[in-house]
């Protein structure tokens, strides 16, 4: 935990309930990681990471992006790519058959993404609390772990 209170607040993630960093990882349909952003302080929003890291520069016309419900970046894509998110129930009690089918397909693909992220996190290099003295090379640590995950047995065939 940093001694500087401002830095403490920036690193604190209310989602994880501790001080952390965040990274954006792009995963192709075959399970290979195709994009790894630099690290950001844990308090940053997912949308802000998308805006700041240059990910949008790699999006091609017609690309399909799979995201969680809370990933509200449609306006950032500027009709360049299609954002595929699970539907919301809202005030309804159940999905339509089409929405249920879409939710299942997205969940099936999302499992691969979660497994890839889990593989990165399992590296001992990233599993423990690292001292702040490693902060200057933390981006490289995540990048190397991500590259090594791509050399593991594929998740999808």
- CA angle at residue 100 from 98 to 103, to 5 degrees? 110
The whole-number pLDDT of residue 13 equals 55
Asked whether residue 155 is domain-assigned, the answer is no
Asked whether residue 65 is domain-assigned, the answer is yes
The dihedral over CA atoms of 77, 79, 82, 84, expressed in degrees to the nearest 10, equals: 70
pLDDT per residue over 96-109, tens digit each?
Answer: 888 888 888 888 87
Asked whether residue 156 is domain-assigned, the answer is no
Question: How many domains is the chain partitioned into structurally?
Answer: 1
The DSSP secondary-structure symbol of 136 reads G
Low-confidence ranges of the chain (pLDDT < 50): 5, 7-8
The whole-number pLDDT of residue 36 equals 92
Please give the mean pLDDT across all residues of the chain: 79
Asked whether residue 88 is domain-assigned, the answer is yes
Q: How many CB atoms lie within 10 A of CB 1?
A: 11
Domain assignment of residue 101, given as a range: 5-150
- Would you state the structure tokens that stand for residue 17, as one six-digit string? 């309930």
Question: Across-strand partners of 144?
Answer: none
The whole-number pLDDT of residue 5 equals 46
Asked whether residue 124 is domain-assigned, the answer is yes
What's the pTM value of the predicted model, to 2 decimals?
0.74
With b for 16 or more beta-carbon neighbours within 10 A and e for fewer, the 40-63 pattern comes to bebbbebeebbeebebeeebeeee
Spatial separation of the C-alpha atoms in residues 26 and 117, rounded to whole Å: 10
Asked whether residue 71 is domain-assigned, the answer is yes
Asked whether residue 139 is domain-assigned, the answer is yes
Asked whether residue 44 is domain-assigned, the answer is yes
């Amino acid at each position: 935990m940093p001694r500087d209170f401002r830095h403490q607040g920036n690193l604190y993630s209310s989602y994880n309930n501790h001080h952390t960093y965040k990274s954006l990882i792009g995963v192709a349909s075959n399970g290979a990681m195709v994009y790894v952003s630099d690290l950001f302080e844990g308090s940053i929003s997912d949308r802000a990471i998308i805006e700041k890291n240059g990910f949008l520069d790699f999006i091609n016309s017609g690309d399909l992006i799979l995201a969680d419900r809370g990933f509200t970046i449609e306006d950032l894509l500027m009709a360049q790519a299609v954002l595929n998110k699970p539907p919301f129930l809202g005030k309804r009690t159940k999905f339509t058959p089409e929405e249920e089918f879409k939710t299942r397909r997205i969940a099936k693909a999302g499992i691969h993404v979660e497994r890839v992220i889990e593989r990165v996190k399992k590296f001992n290099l990233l599993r423990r609390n690292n001292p702040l003295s490693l902060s200057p090379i933390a981006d490289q640590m995540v990048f190397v772990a991500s590259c090594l995950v791509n050399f593991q047995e594929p998740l999808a065939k």
